[in-house]
Amino acid sequence: MQIWTGLGNPGPQYAMNRHNVGFMAVDVIADMYDFGPVQKKFSGWVQEGRIGSEKILLLKPATFMNESGRAAGEALRFYKLEPDALTVFHDELDLAPGKCRAKTTGGHGGHNGLRSIHQNIGAEYTRIRLGIGHPGDKELVPSYVLNDFAKSDLEWLALMLESIAGAADLLAYGDTIGFMNKVAMRSDWEKGVKPSNKKKVLKAKSSLDKSIKNLLEADDRTSFQKLIDRFR
């Protein structure tokens, strides 16, 4: 069994923040592979499912970013798993928007969510670094990560998330290099989204919309309209 944790902050006001791209990634994976219903467990929200023959527990901590390690630690201890059974999806300032890199062990790079995980379980786990770009000045970082993705970011964001979900089988089987290569081949947004990729983008946007649907207040708008309205 493996535990895949997406990092982010709970609540509708954070749903489309750059800091929440880890939440978005596990939600798109859950949608693509038809994971089970959301349950409250381990100081967060979990969904159970399989990718190929691998049993995966998806976890989104409800503890806020700075306490993410508490939820991950609870889940690992409950299932009597070692830290290397954990994969964490998180935003990465030092990667260009839309880029994805896998990393095993190492430091937390100043990321508060990773710092919390280090404090709770150590450093022997896999990170999936999701590029959001850097604002250019470290003084701008807090406001940058806690602001929503721009409307112009939607296409590359959706395509990156779809590409990650589409390559998740390789990640589940421990082939991180194959996973990165497959994501890179599928995520060709830098060259412009080609007509053949439009369906992929729309599918990922649909999954992304579902991932925030439960966080947004109920009203008369369609779920897709809710997503679009957040970028106006």
Backbone phi, psi, residue 222, to 5°: -70, 160
CA distance 176 to 110: 23
- DSSP letters spanning 134-188: --SSGGGHHHHHTSBPPGGGHHHHHHHHHHHHHTHHHHHTT-HHHHHHHHHHH--
User: Do the Cβ atoms of 43 and 70 come closer than 8 Å?
Assistant: yes
Beta bridge partners of 54: 51
The CB-side HSE value for 141 (13 A sphere, CA atoms) comes to: 12
User: Do the Cβ atoms of 15 and 212 come closer than 8 Å?
Assistant: yes
Q: What tokens appear for 48 in the block?
A: 């159970």
For the question of residue 19 being annotated catalytic, the response is yes
**Catalytic residue ranges:** 19
